[in-house]
Amino acid sequence: MKSDYVICPECFKQNPFDEDVDFESKCCLSCQSELLPVHPIEGDTELLLSLLHQSQPILVDFWGAWSGACKQFAPLFNTYADKYRGRVIFMKVNSEEQQVLANKLCINSFPTLIFLENGHEKQRLTGLIDAAQLDLLLAKYSS
């Protein structure tokens, strides 16, 4: 039985996570929000900084509303957010609204995925990403 923590997507507090427990209806101990939502978290600079040193890895999708590739990739990202919930934090960052963050991280292509673990960038993928690429990335870094 492995115990760890899962981050609440609403208040960002750590909650005990046990892989042997059914988390379908589990709520945050602090704010009572659903702990493992099916959808990715909408992120900004403050949220990303607050999550960097949590026990869970983070997969960030930097996207633009005008990008056809981003629109095409969004359903796949949402599917994987559900598939890996509890193991990886999936975050979407609107690069138009978060230009300072996108510039600081040298986001030049859309979509851009950045996989972060223990506060460090482990891998970056740019352009239209397919399921095989996403499978390889997540298999490499998430256990």
- Sketch the domain layout of the chain as residue ranges: 1-37, 38-141
Read off the pLDDT of residues 88-124 as tens digits, 9 standing for 90 and up. 889 999 999 999 999 999 999 999 999 999 889 999 9
HEC assignment per residue over the chain:
CCEEEEECCCCCCEEEEECCCCCCCCECCCCCCECCCCCCEECCHHHHHHHCCCCCCEEEEEECCCCHHHHHHHHHHHHHHHHCCCCCEEEEEECCCCHHHHHHCCCCCCCEEEEEECCEEEEEEECCCCHHHHHHHHHHHCC
Read off the pLDDT of residues 27-56 as tens digits, 9 standing for 90 and up. 888 998 877 665 788 888 887 887 777 778
Q: Is CATH 3.40.30.10 what the domain over 38-141 is classified as, yes or no?
A: yes
pTM of the model as a whole:
0.77
